[in-house]
Amino acid sequence: MKNKDVLTPMAQLALLNELGKRYGFTEIEAEFDGSGDSGTVSEWTACLPPDHKHDSKTVEQINREIGEIVDQQLTYLLLEKFCVGWDLDDGSFGSVRMVLASGAIQINQDVRVMTTEHDEFTTNIFDL
């Protein structure tokens, strides 16, 4: 396998398509979760159909091969470009999915929102 740092996006996509044809998947996915000025992203994994016939060792091998082609840096790059602040304050979580045939990428993001309520009371020292 070539070093993924020197592969162009087109070369990565071609290799992923070959892998997908060999094992029967058409999409890959990574998940992310960020808050408090930090965040984590998962490794990219194959979106295997529910009726796939692979055992767990084969699924691990598929995902390892995906990791040799594309890594978490792609997820971070996409999040920095399209989900600014995903890792700040309450942050957000979600997934990034790539369709291998077209290279289309869909980002599903759920933003955590902190809410506040304001209450105000007026009293008198003599009422205590």
Residue 94, token pair as written in the block: 């979600």
> 3-class SS at 32?
strand
pLDDT score at 3:
52
- Residue 37: which domain range? 9-127
Q: Residue 59 falls within a domain, yes or no?
A: yes
Whether the pLDDT of residue 105 is over 80: the answer is yes
Q: Residue 4 falls within a domain, yes or no?
A: no
Q: Residue 117 falls within a domain, yes or no?
A: yes
Task: For the chain, give the mean pLDDT.
Answer: 90
In the block, residue with structure tokens 């700040």:
88
Q: Residue 68 falls within a domain, yes or no?
A: yes
Q: Residue 2 falls within a domain, yes or no?
A: no
For helices 9-23 and 56-69, give the axis angle rounded to 10 degrees.
Answer: 170
Q: What are 18-70's pLDDT values in tens digits?
A: 999 999 999 999 999 998 888 899 999 999 999 999 999 999 999 999 999 99
Give the number of domains in the chain: 1
Please state the pTM of the whole predicted model.
Answer: 0.80
